[in-house]
Structure 1
């Protein structure tokens, strides 16, 4: 499946800022066996991407399937059952998979096996939400702007439940750039931050190698000296962390802090999920507008790609990389959608045009009535 693939996205929206109009096509290239691996796992990936938006990527009969919708500054993702949570610039949006209605979606009947539609929106304000997870009926999120782990449930804009012990004030100062969360067996076990700092944006002075991994709730420093760590995960009893500033996937001993490089990858690593023994890692190009930051990975700037890598969890072998040639500069987060091959995602604007109505008694797509067929609906 190696080669260049041109896949149309489902929504094209011009940005309010000049020069950021979305291309109607996203060009992909599979280097290795990425699509083959994804097809064998019988799953799709939800990918939060910059400049903005979320893409759903699957493989059906050897052909990649890609749908996308634009959302304002999409960031962290979380998946649980038929729910997909997406953090945006000022909201936490929860989408629902109306799988029973998917084959009857009027725009493309008898094709999709999943259609994700907007169901709930929490108006959070600017929290800069990074890693997120569903904890039963609430969402736990790393609230980077306020340097804390937050509950998002609609009672308040957010409820802070933990912050690093060295952070002494509460407010929107982004004091340590808390960004990653390892949620395991119903609890947050570890978090990552870009610095052990307690002044607004103080982490920026030491971002080259000031990154840390902390244990929760104790706040004990598990590992330090990291270059922009993100996305800690406990997988098969082992702690994995992405070291973005070096483009590495690490395994860290939480007792000794010893680090082992599992894989070196051609991108700023951000976003990690495991499924079926495969680690999917988000890769990004560096942000040119920030200029040189002194990161080790800057020496490889010309070789860096935006895409997703598939890594064998046991051997660390890179099985393949799916590169995005246009429409994507950064991958912010990656999540797995099990048992889905052909998924669609509708932005609120798209859903307003053709709403899905789901009740305990069934559901249907609500289409605009025509003169010949007033009140037409596609039942499911």
Structure 2
């Protein structure tokens, strides 16, 4: 793969043909290894793989025209595609260039989604709130759960996921409804909730470490990470309906038509995931956790394709689809190419 890493990506036989047929590409983050991966398909119908390094990169979000948002350790980055439609460079049909970087400090940004105006709304997990960027502060709070009594740099409930509807925050996930620093860690098994942003009320309770809520085709999809399940929540009853079991710790979900692409990680060595139903299920099945992308058929629950990630990369956070982009590449802020690469505005004078 280059860049001096020993990481190996191994795709199931039909993964690349599926990606080519969908005319899309994927981006995912590996926050402990600090890598942004871009996965596409080249003219030879084989996978194209590119990595770029950012410290503790986590949340990803996409916007119109190929905009890509990404959080890193203390910054929020905005990438724009510097190629015109139909233009290619070295076999790539998108060159994602970092055009803006907002210094937020280490507020532990998780999910990111642009609102109707294109403004990024992100989960500031350390401060237990939804936020956006600010001109004269590290961030501007947008919303916080009603059980959080004040804005504090204490991860009290592990607010982590955000689902949007019509360009507005609709639902969030928390590991527990707690108002004390790190108290959520004692409720990982059954304290998880999905909250309605408009009302602040819980629409689902009793979940195990819910992550990555997403609205897709009329359903609210959620990863119940502590049990290793993808499922959807019935908004009238709050019941979680599992669709499939995933072989590891699931976080990050994107949709490509009738399929969900899900990031799945291996447990940490510090035993953070001990005592969860996920570990018991893996032991019962007699299989180890696997770091991979799983492509799930939403109708059948079948895992139709996988991209296994082997080597030092063991934890993924987020994944997004880049529709209409077949083989993307990205630049890093310090790259020499950015010194001489620019896109001039249209002439207006």
Gaps of 5+ in 2: none
Would you say 1:334 and 2:340 are equivalent positions? no
Equivalent in 13, 37, 60 of residue 18 of structure 2? 37
Q: CA deviation at 1:134?
A: 1.2
Q: Which residue of 1 aligns with 2:55?
A: 72
Report the aligned-residue RMSD.
2.0
CA–CA distance in structure 1, aligned partners of residues 206 and 121 of structure 2:
27
Q: CA deviation at 1:104?
A: 7.1
Equivalent in 72, 96, 118 of residue 98 of structure 2? 118
Q: CA deviation at 1:33?
A: 3.0
CA–CA distance in structure 2, aligned partners of residues 39 and 327 of structure 1:
28
Q: Which residue of 1 aligns with 2:37?
A: 55
Cα 1:40/1:158, change in 2 over 3 Å: same
CA–CA distance in structure 2, aligned partners of residues 162 and 306 of structure 1:
33
Matches within 5 A, 1:193-232: 193-232=174-213
Would you say 1:84 and 2:68 are equivalent positions? yes
Would you say 1:129 and 2:113 are equivalent positions? no
| TM-score (norm. length: structure 2) | 0.92
Q: Which residue of 2 aligns with 1:259?
A: 240
Q: Computing the radius of gyration over CA atoms, which structure comes out larger, 1 or 2? A: 1
Tell me if the contact between 2:88 and 2:94 (Cα under 8 Å) persists in the aligned partners: no
CA–CA distance in structure 1, aligned partners of residues 21 and 92 of structure 2:
19
* Count of matched residue pairs: 339
Q: Which moved further from structure 2: 344-353 or 136-145?
A: 344-353
Gaps of 5+ in 1: 1-7, 13-21, 363-380
Tell me if the contact between 1:118 and 1:351 (Cα under 8 Å) persists in the aligned partners: no
Tell me if the contact between 1:117 and 1:351 (Cα under 8 Å) persists in the aligned partners: no
Equivalent in 159, 165, 170 of residue 151 of structure 2? 170
| TM-score (norm. length: structure 1) | 0.85
Q: CA deviation at 1:141?
A: 0.3
Q: CA deviation at 1:44?
A: 0.5
Return structure 1 stretches of 4+ with deviation > 6 angstroms. Answer: none
Q: SS state of the match for residue 19, structure 2?
A: helix
CA–CA distance in structure 1, aligned partners of residues 315 and 135 of structure 2:
30
Q: CA deviation at 1:156?
A: 2.6
Matches within 5 A, 1:232-247: 232-247=213-228
Q: SS state of the match for residue 114, structure 2?
A: strand
